[in-house]
Chains A and B, each alone.
Chain A
């Protein structure tokens, strides 16, 4: 597909959505009844859940990768290492197609939201009209225009005035960041509207209790995402590569992507902690609902998957070291590190009790409290393992192990020699698996923020008593998350294949 066509599709859809939004705004002025229509089989919520989450994942993609791209372009300019330039360009190509996907799903999201939840849409639209139409669309248009310009001037302007071209890339990122900040205002508002919400100024609506934490959390998340995606693209491309040169290049790309992904993964638990603290401060009952009640098991899975990411990244370093001459001497110390990482993760995951709620409910498999406590709850002398200090130590340990492994890697590099492209073929699949994990986790934990509101669209203001306002079970959410991730990956893989399959040289 020609990039020109892609940009046309994006622009066209953007305009359509904008038009739709404005007409919806006009309609919203009159009193809108709740929708009578329910989606057959899956229900309205699932439709919105699916579309918005896929939109969000693409959104994260097109926000995260440009940061990664510009950093690479910059490093490439400074070091004159052409691999960075190639890396940046290839990923930009994929990003351009993902722009179109983002817009498409964004448009669908907006339409379905108006159709299925008109009352809520009208409420939000009226409250946030200047943001939704003015700021958001201006930023969005700026961002995508800059992005296409950035691409089109790469070989012309980029060759002569690298600095200017870079500045354009930074412009993409700034407008991307602001776009995200703008739309985050609505998302965070729904969970933590200012008190009281009547008479609050637009700025108070925007700058609500969790706006900044959400922005920071997503910003870090997106960069991390960008890194892992670059690594995944490297995995794909390495698999289809036919020459030594290409393989060497993608091997290297996988390493760089993972490094950046991991670097930004490290602060995310801390950021998440600050975010929850802010939620807790806003409404302790929300924090408790997340951490101890119906959403608590989501955090168990969060712990396990974060563990998978850490172990996966360290396994990748292990594979990377296997091809460095003379690195064998670090083998046993790295192995001990793995044991420490696993044990830390187990401590991280240990819950106070293995039931999905604060108190026992019917249908959980225990006849009474005593029976549950005997088999599923930590006795009081071990309860410390489920508390913050234990978790903090565990997280710190796992981070330290990762840092240590990177240090060992560099020490090995100093003495030995690395042959890019000779990595165990397993590494490609590790990269792909890692990005799958990141995305699954992101989609999954995004749901927690939404589910936290319980039976409200806007916490304590707009009630949601529709049939599917109940908090879905862990199983239900996991299955849906897997479906969402599959859709996203199918589209993303298509985008990568379409934009990049010609980049690998034919076999000699």
Chain B
């Protein structure tokens, strides 16, 4: 080896020895986790070796070319195989188990009666069909840009969830109404799931709720929910629940003493719970819920806990809040939204409820045959 060459190598080695910790420290400071730092370190070493190769003296012609050719293949084979083996893997057992679940497992699922076990089985089916690839749930999987987070989906009506699963194009939430996303949700679950899996997934989805005391995520401002709440409030959904009879169609009280819904600053009455004496705009989610569920004792405001499901109470609360704008959504904004394209879609979607129910029933019929 010539002197010039060895000096050259020394110089490169010094650069590499400086570069290695520098890259490590800089990437640490930038916040790269350890595996990424390792990856960068490997790159530095590879660059170093490569630069040695660049300035290496020209190779002599070999007599035994065949051996060198073999060696070339060997290097390629070993390096690529090692890379393949070295990168993160998954346990093939899990994949094999999937096949079992798709054959015998799904039959077992159909026999489960216990509701708790059914929910567990539903989680299994959820994983089996890789719903997590698009939906974030409990902080895992998905991405905001791929599908809605499902943590709070259990507050939706069973019908809504069924429809989302079996006929996903029926309704596309506003933020997913984009070319690449609107038809992303697979539309074949009515063909793929069997009855057991379907029941289990539904039970699982229905069980997903973040908190009993909080308005389900996004509902304060979600027009679809607010319009459903309006129907309850107006007595359309169930004539025996008619808030409008006392509070007025647009929140302008028609009964003396009934809470003025349009004024976010109005204070509560003497009789109401202490926590709700403050102006409506300061109410917590829980205050809204209790007000409707429990009512105000000794007044005409009964508790509606018997007549309305918890989920319906949240819906009607979301509507009531728009009358004063206490939670961000106002009547004006809602009207403006309903004039937009998506708003018109929403109106016609809600109108077609009977038709949609029929379709979902039909698709559920398909599942029975799977």
Contact = CB atoms under 8 A, between A and B. Distances in A.
Interface in B77-104: 77, 80-81, 83-85, 87-96, 98-99, 102-103
Interface in B22-58: 30-36, 39-40, 43, 46-47, 50-51, 53-54, 58
B77 A482 contact: yes
Interface in A465-486: 465, 467, 469-479, 481-482, 485-486
Contact of A479 (B54, B84, B186): B84
Contacts of B103: 465
A285 B130 contact: yes
A288 B133 contact: yes
B130 to A, nearest CB: 7
Interface in A341-363: 342-343, 345-346, 349-350, 354-363
B159 interface: no
Name the prevailing secondary structure of the B interface residues: helix
A417 interface: no
Nearest to A461: B191
A293 B133 contact: yes
Interface stretch (A3-11, A82-90, A105-113, A294-302): A294-302
Interface string A275-289: 000001101110011
A433 B50 contact: no
B76 interface: yes
Interface hub of B58, B60, B93, B180 (most chain A Cβ within 10 A): B58
B351 interface: no
Contacts of A485: 76-77
Contacts of B181: 284
B33 A429 contact: no
A448 to B, nearest CB: 13
Interface stretch (A121-129, A207-215, A374-382): A374-382
A424 B58 contact: yes
A374 B33 contact: yes
Interface residues of A, number: 84
Contacts of A259: none
Nearest to B46: A342
Nearest to B132: A359
A206 interface: no
B19 to A, nearest CB: 11
B69 interface: yes
A81 interface: no
A460 B32 contact: no
A470 B54 contact: no
Contact of A455 (B66, B99, B146): B99
Interface string B182-211: 011110100110000000000000000000
A148 interface: no
Contacts of B157: none
Contact of A474 (B36, B87, B185): B87
A107 B188 CA distance: 36
Contact of B35 (A343, A375, A476): A375
Given A349-B39, A358-B133, A429-B69, A338 B50 contact: yes
Given A424-B58, A436-B72, A470 B91 contact: no
A335 B50 CA distance: 11
Interface stretch (B134-142, B247-255, B263-271, B341-349): B134-142
A342 B134 contact: no
A335 B54 contact: yes
A406 interface: no
B84 A478 contact: yes
B352 interface: no
Contacts of A240: 65
A432 interface: yes
Contacts of B61: 425
A343 B43 CA distance: 8
Contacts of A477: 84
Contacts of B88: 297, 354-356, 364, 376, 474
Interface in B155-196: 180-181, 183-186, 188, 191-192
B337 interface: no
Contacts of B66: 239
A403 interface: no
B69 A432 contact: yes
A346 B54 contact: no
A498 interface: no
A473 B85 CA distance: 9
A479 B132 contact: no
B31 A239 contact: no
Contact of A470 (B60, B68, B98): B98
Given A283-B186, A338-B54, A358-B133, A475 B73 contact: no
B184 A284 contact: yes
B68 A429 contact: yes
Interface in A454-508: 455, 460, 463, 465, 467, 469-479, 481-482, 485-486, 489, 493
A479 B87 CA distance: 13
A479 B141 contact: no
A379 B69 contact: no
Nearest to B103: A465
Interface in A306-324: 311, 315, 318, 322
Interface hub of A240, A289, A425 (most chain B Cβ within 10 A): A425
Nearest to B145: A387
Nearest to A469: B99
Contacts of A361: 90-91, 94
A304 interface: yes
A135 interface: no
A464 to B, nearest CB: 9
B59 interface: yes
B180 A280 contact: yes
Interface in A371-411: 373-379, 381-382
A114 B126 CA distance: 35
B99 A426 contact: no
A245 interface: no
B59 A425 contact: yes
A132 to B, nearest CB: 27
B62 interface: yes
Nearest to A382: B31
A173 to B, nearest CB: 30
Contacts of B72: 429, 432-433, 436
Contacts of A476: 92
Interface hub of B60, B73, B75 (most chain A Cβ within 10 A): B73
A236 B69 contact: yes
A206 B90 CA distance: 35
Contacts of A338: 47, 50-51, 54
A290 to B, nearest CB: 10
A266 interface: no
A493 B47 CA distance: 31
A371 to B, nearest CB: 11
A13 interface: no
28 contacts: A236-B69, A283-B186, A284-B146, A284-B184, A288-B146, A297-B88, A301-B84, A315-B50, A346-B39, A350-B39, A356-B90, A358-B142, A359-B140, A359-B141, A382-B32, A425-B58, A426-B58, A428-B65, A433-B72, A436-B73, A460-B191, A460-B192, A473-B90, A474-B84, A475-B85, A479-B84, A482-B77, A485-B77
The 9 closest A-B CB pairs, nearest first, are: A478-B84, A239-B65, A470-B95, A363-B91, A284-B184, A475-B85, A426-B59, A436-B76, A424-B58
Given A301-B80, A356-B88, A440-B76, 13 more contacts: A284-B134, A284-B184, A285-B130, A293-B133, A342-B43, A363-B93, A377-B33, A425-B62, A429-B69, A465-B102, A467-B96, A470-B98, A478-B80
